[in-house]
A and B are shown apart, each in its own frame.
Chain A
């Protein structure tokens, strides 16, 4: 690029939240405590599956400081469940418990210490039921049912529109399948039968994960006369508002959900979590109630789906893919939460960004008596790509074709459809692959016991396009932006400020951004699927255009100019003879006082640029070089290369941060992270024994490449970032380990022992 075409976007500006967060001044939900707040502690199930016989709270209620013990019996006149797809999730266990750790009662007391002490005194009498602790158990004939009743699936079109094909009408036959999707075309069996080569990878196991956010789930709720105010750690405050309004039968306008800074989300804070518990606590006591979970409780609130995947791919002699046949089973735990959508997305993303003329994907999300699974950064993509990308490398070896060349021959080109009828690919993956492999090979050590692995994914990202934004121009020309998109560390506050400053031609410092308060800011459906820059960004551009148009109309009126002679200008309008008038002056002249403001409104729906689903494809293009210590199986990651195919980087430094963060988080599932059940409960529900990546795990060489081809529908050609680099990481690391050891892994994380067993052909440890 020669002259910079933009003033503010495309520059690495300092994050809006930087100083606040570094100095500790930033306010998170956990810091908020209205006066008169009571504190709650959850009494949790000590069985994986059991009838609730009786809850005896008398001893607890008699303890000093205890105000109430809320059980299912107390809230039965409310709508006692939540869930945005299937409202199957009881706020407090009703009739039976479905997993160890499920909330059974809520103790509300003057202090957290009093609530905690009393919680231990609530006597819960159970009658144990046989439990299903794995997907295989749950699918066995005559397996005990996790849910004896079925609930109506939300008719929301936004859900079905995000699955590639409409999913089957809910089968009310009772089994433990929470949701099933099928996807495909062509004649897979014929292609498999006539292929030059068919390569299989069976039983590829992806672990249960915990999206470790430094701030665990918490909420403080205040229920007063027909009004509920909640301050919580929700990524999607507007969707939480819907669940809460249904519980209490309140108008949406009388439920206010506010989200201050979020201490990490990674998808785990999508949708409703602890808000109903705090809210019923306040409803029962008439005082504000605060509930803060610890890490163990957070793990028992939401985890990521584990998966077992079988993949078969048929090839022509020249390496052309003829067919792929994929079966995935996701262990979704005790409640549906977002898993029906996760399995639908997992299916869409399972075969990769390749031309597959014949495809058959079957995905099942299965209920088990374990912690409920839901969204996690990447949304089903890592599970499928781990199996699918290893499968390609295995095939490349059998075909005698370089693994990059094999991918090159099969990659979908720019504009080509990955899913029939959906948006064509808005990226150039062949060019991206060259950059990736070039960087990896340039610095390859070629040492013994080292290997290079790379993998690609394409995710139908952006979720359902419903976004709005407001801008308010002030009398001094400064600008307030209102958005319902949550700042959870990804840097949206800075990016939105940059877009508004660019569109209105004002200084960045003159723009403020307020986010995520359902009573005051503009509606946003979700903060997820890497959508904010693209969809909220588009809404904000339109809001700025609306404000400029209003300013032009007002200038025409007060100056008597023909409206068609008025041109936009940075910070204001140009009248006839290039006469500049700033926004502030327009406002003050129109209102006839040093007062007033202009509000611009921007709306995004499935229309125009955002008609086709998905709004954009988020590509993951990553590679690593690892070395393996043969006698211990320890894996050392020497190189990490990511390619951010983002269309246009509004804040390049933030894009690099997102890719490095996503890739590092992806290293977790590849090498360390796995929640392990032994009997009804987890062995490692804490971050000492559940090992997340640390600074020392970050490779010496990190190359975060940004590619800008302006091929997105977002502002200035931008597309989203944030999930892409995580999605193929597990696959890339597993492939690199496979190359280093000469044996293809079938399971992650690749702990030292697993790699040692792989090297020595010893059976898996569990």
Chain B
């Protein structure tokens, strides 16, 4: 069961920033946080509820980027017309994150901050060259995905920082994301996209501690066997290291084949 905690429900971001510290943490969908609290893995003394701050749920487009508020749920992202118009691959991925309850409750920001290595979004957003905006009373920081995600369940977010939004540079890359998923989370997930600059980029997720990014000038430069050699999966209930390496190769080839054919 949940340990005791205080709950505050601020109406704006500044108020949130004044409250955050090592012991008082942001709370949105709760799909990761509350489970960790129930299991006794996290015991914060206070939660700051972000759900009543409309600004955190906004999705907007500028000339240079699509900006997604960190408090937008997976469903909200998948249904938003700007995302549907400009990032159809993100729509496809968001429609298949977790399960129906996770998609309706869980937020894109919570997903990234939890940095679960088997997150679809970590891999896809790395493929998109997305950046995250962190804010604290000390100021703003913008980090690339690779700078933000430091390891499993470990990000560069400081205890007093709030993840405000995710920005995907425009035009958004197109391509494919494929995954093998037997339980709640993928065993391997691979994104293959062609960037606006014409580069081919493959990101392997779930099977590695942090997403593995490989790029080349053409799809022929993507060496599936070379990627397999680079991943060092661990054997666990989802599969042996041997099998995970094997399917990494299978899914890299599948993702590249789909992207080459011009999937979304």
A contact set with B: CB distance below 8 Å: 112-113, 116, 631-632, 634, 672, 676, 683-684, 688-689, 691, 751-753, 756-757, 762, 765
B183 touches A752 (CB 8 A): no
B250 touches A631 (CB 8 A): yes
Known A688-B183, A753-B239; further 6 A-B contacts with Cβ < 8 A: A632-B247, A689-B183, A752-B180, A753-B240, A756-B246, A765-B243
Q: Contact mask B146-186 → A, CB, 8 Å, 1/0?
A: 00000000000000000000000000000000001011100
Which residue of A116, A683, A691, A756 contacts B243 across the interface (Cβ within 8 Å)? A756
Contacts of B182 in A (CB 8 A): 672, 691, 751-752
Complex Cα distance, B247 from A187, in Å, reads: 50
What are 18 A-B residue pairs whose CB atoms fall within 8 Å in the complex? Answer: A113-B1, A631-B250, A632-B180, A632-B247, A632-B250, A634-B180, A676-B237, A688-B183, A688-B184, A689-B183, A689-B184, A689-B237, A752-B180, A752-B243, A752-B247, A753-B239, A756-B246, A765-B240
Report the nearest B residue to A757, measured CB to CB.
B243
Complex Cα distance, B182 from A732, in Å, reads: 21
Q: Does B63 contact A (CB under 8 A)?
A: no
Q: Does B4 contact A (CB under 8 A)?
A: yes
The minimal Cβ–Cβ distance linking B111 to chain A, given in whole angstroms, is 16
B243 touches A753 (CB 8 A): yes
Contacts of A689 in B (CB 8 A): 183-184, 237
Contacts of A762 in B (CB 8 A): 242
Contacts of B246 in A (CB 8 A): 756
A112 touches B183 (CB 8 A): no
Report the nearest B residue to A634, measured CB to CB.
B180
Complex Cα distance, B246 from A765, in Å, reads: 14
Contacts of B243 in A (CB 8 A): 752-753, 756-757, 765
Report the nearest A residue to B236, measured CB to CB.
A683
Complex Cα distance, B180 from A568, in Å, reads: 65
Q: Closest 3 A-B residue pairs measured CB to CB?
A: A753-B243, A688-B184, A753-B239
Contacts of B180 in A (CB 8 A): 632, 634, 752
The prevalent SS among residues of A at the interface is loop
The minimal Cβ–Cβ distance linking A278 to chain B, given in whole angstroms, is 17
Interface residues in B106-135 (C-beta closer than 8 Å to A) = none
Report the nearest B residue to A678, measured CB to CB.
B237
Complex Cα distance, B239 from A663, in Å, reads: 26
Complex Cα distance, B239 from A757, in Å, reads: 11
Report the nearest B residue to A749, measured CB to CB.
B182
Report the nearest B residue to A751, measured CB to CB.
B182
Complex Cα distance, B239 from A689, in Å, reads: 12
Contacts of B3 in A (CB 8 A): 113
Complex Cα distance, B178 from A631, in Å, reads: 14
Interface residues in B218-264 (C-beta closer than 8 Å to A) = 237, 239-240, 242-243, 246-247, 250
The minimal Cβ–Cβ distance linking B239 to chain A, given in whole angstroms, is 5
Complex Cα distance, B185 from A691, in Å, reads: 11
Complex Cα distance, B35 from A689, in Å, reads: 14
Contacts of A632 in B (CB 8 A): 180, 247, 250
Interface residues in B3-35 (C-beta closer than 8 Å to A) = 3-4
Contacts of A676 in B (CB 8 A): 237
Complex Cα distance, B246 from A376, in Å, reads: 36
Report the nearest B residue to A672, measured CB to CB.
B182
Which residue of A112, A751, A752 contacts B1 across the interface (Cβ within 8 Å)? A112
The minimal Cβ–Cβ distance linking A733 to chain B, given in whole angstroms, is 15
Report the nearest A residue to B183, measured CB to CB.
A691
Contacts of B247 in A (CB 8 A): 632, 752
Contacts of A765 in B (CB 8 A): 239-240, 243
Report the nearest A residue to B253, measured CB to CB.
A631
A116 touches B1 (CB 8 A): yes
Report the nearest B residue to A671, measured CB to CB.
B182
Complex Cα distance, B237 from A113, in Å, reads: 32
B237 touches A684 (CB 8 A): yes
The minimal Cβ–Cβ distance linking B240 to chain A, given in whole angstroms, is 5
Contacts of B239 in A (CB 8 A): 751-753, 765
Contacts of A752 in B (CB 8 A): 180, 182, 239, 243, 247
Interface centre among A631, A672, A684, A757 (most CB of B within 10 A): A631
Complex Cα distance, B37 from A116, in Å, reads: 14
Report the nearest B residue to A762, measured CB to CB.
B242
Report the nearest B residue to A695, measured CB to CB.
B100
The minimal Cβ–Cβ distance linking A760 to chain B, given in whole angstroms, is 9
Complex Cα distance, B182 from A753, in Å, reads: 11
Report the nearest A residue to B254, measured CB to CB.
A631
Q: Contact mask B23-63 → A, CB, 8 Å, 1/0?
A: 00000000000000000000000000000000000000000
Contact status of A113 and B184, CB under 8 A, knowing A632-B247, A683-B237, A753-B239: no
Contacts of A113 in B (CB 8 A): 1, 3-4
